[in-house]
Amino acid sequence: MRLPGRREGCGTDRPYADIGAQGFTDLGCRGPLTIEDIIASPWVVYPFHLRDICLVTDAGGAVVLTTVDRARRLGPPLIEVLGSGVAHTHYQITQMPDLTVTPASISGAQAYAQARLGPADIDVAELYDSFTYTVLVTLEDLGFCGKGEDFVSAQRTAPGGDFPLNTSGAAFPYPSRHVRDVPADRSGPPAARRVRRTAGRSAGGGAGQRDGRVPVQRRYRHPRMGVIGVNPAGLPVPELSPSPEAAPFWEACRRHQLVLPYCTECRRFFFYPRTLCPYCGTREVIWRPSAGRGEIYTFCVQYQSRLPGFGDATPFVTAIIELEEGLRLMTFLIDVPPQPESIRCGMPVEVVFKD
């Protein structure tokens, strides 16, 4: 999947990270971080370089809410929440309807409607930034620009730009700072002087021609419980301890057969396995054989892995496969060179079993 404008967008909130001076020193970056630095950093998982990915974000934060009257009595500057929205579009990343559209397209519309504002009324944005891609697609989904539109290449989101974005540096230099460090004082720097009105803030958490084959692993357990072997594809095969809901799937794999949960009420396949149909809520769920054919929906080339046993197997390819039955599975891709130029979205694949 090609990310429009990704190269131009790599450094959207990095200058604020430099101002924060809390990130990247452990990654060998002690001065201003440029787009060239990001592109030159090592690959981790294609299409992301080391500095396309945020630092460790095992942390938490909280916003204390109360009534407007009580907030006035307490004394601190009053910050009113005028609108909010919540949306979910999928249970797993494999079932995300479109990897270029996030639930922010729904929750943002809800918040705008509640606040009676629109994208043009927003003065500063604090957006979730697990990867550089996340910021770009969220800017689009919140209506600040159209899909694929050139919005950040002129550094308009950098300090001094006309659209302050992630002014704390966000998760790239330090976790859980999106709301805490939003400037709100008229005496602050120029980029912050227009943001006293809380209503004006938004916070949100080449192609090869070969066909590929998809191996279905027959055994799986949490990697920390130990890898027990390597299959003929050269990939680790951990031990299997399936849940009762998933047991029929793995039992069929032992027979070299791919089966999928199917709702007899609404006549739809679904995945991952569960006792209730996620579409209509019925328990009329059975298992039906899959044709085992599909095409690559998207893929990553894994250049680094910290999971036991997988580091020695790098580089390898993981992919989301869209099956003929209309659902998606995540798997390894084999019999294709682990190079982005050798793989394309839409490439036909078939299931194979490696014992």
What string of DSSP letters covers 215-273? EEES----GGG-EEEE-TTS-EEEPP---TTTHHHHHHHHTT--EEEEETTTTEE-SS-
**Cα–Cα distances in angstroms (integers) from residue 114 to residues 82, 111, 121, in the given order:** 7, 5, 14
- Give the highest mean pLDDT range of 61-70, 110-119, 170-179, 331-340: 110-119
pLDDT (0 to 100) of residue 263: 96
- Quick one: which of 149, 142, 112 has its CA closest to 125? 142
**Host H or E run for residue 351:** strand 348-354
Q: Residue 6: left (phi > 0), alpha (psi -120 to 50), or beta?
A: alpha
Other beta carbons within 10 Å of 287: 14
| Residue 21, pLDDT above cutoff 90 | no
Supply the pLDDT for residue 45: 86
Higher-scoring residue by pLDDT: 67, 310: 67
Say what percent of the chain tops pLDDT 90: 31
What confidence tens digit (pLDDT) does each residue in 90-126 have? 877 888 888 889 999 999 999 999 999 999 999 888 8
Query: Distance of alpha carbon 300 from its chain centroid, rounded?
Result: 13
Maximum Cα–Cα distance across the chain: 70
Answer with the residue of higher pLDDT: 177 or 135.
Answer: 135
Whether pLDDT at 33 is above 80: no
| Paired sense of beta strands 48-49 and 43-46, if any | antiparallel
pLDDT at 218: 35
Residue 212: enclosing H or E segment and its boundaries?
strand 212-217
- Label residue 198 by pLDDT band (50, 70, 90): very low
> pLDDT tens, 223-256?
333 333 445 456 766 676 788 899 999 899 889 9
pLDDT winner (highest mean) among 46-50, 183-187, 192-196, 311-315: 46-50
Q: Is 315 exposed, middle or buried (0-12, 13-18, 19+ CB in 10 A)?
A: middle
Residue entry with tokens 């055994």: 219
Least confident segment among 48-52, 69-73, 136-140, 320-324: 48-52
What pLDDT, on a 0 to 100 scale, did the predictor assign at position 172? Answer: 56
Three-state secondary structure call for residue 98: coil
Give first-to-last CA distance, the chain, whole Å: 31
pLDDT at residue 20, as a whole number? 42
How far apart CA 33 and CA 14 sit, in angstroms, is 7
* Extended strands (E) in 22-85: 43-46, 48-49
Angle between helix 132-141 and helix 104-115 axes, rounded to 10 deg: 50
pLDDT digits 0-9 by tens, 144-165? 999 999 888 888 887 788 888 8
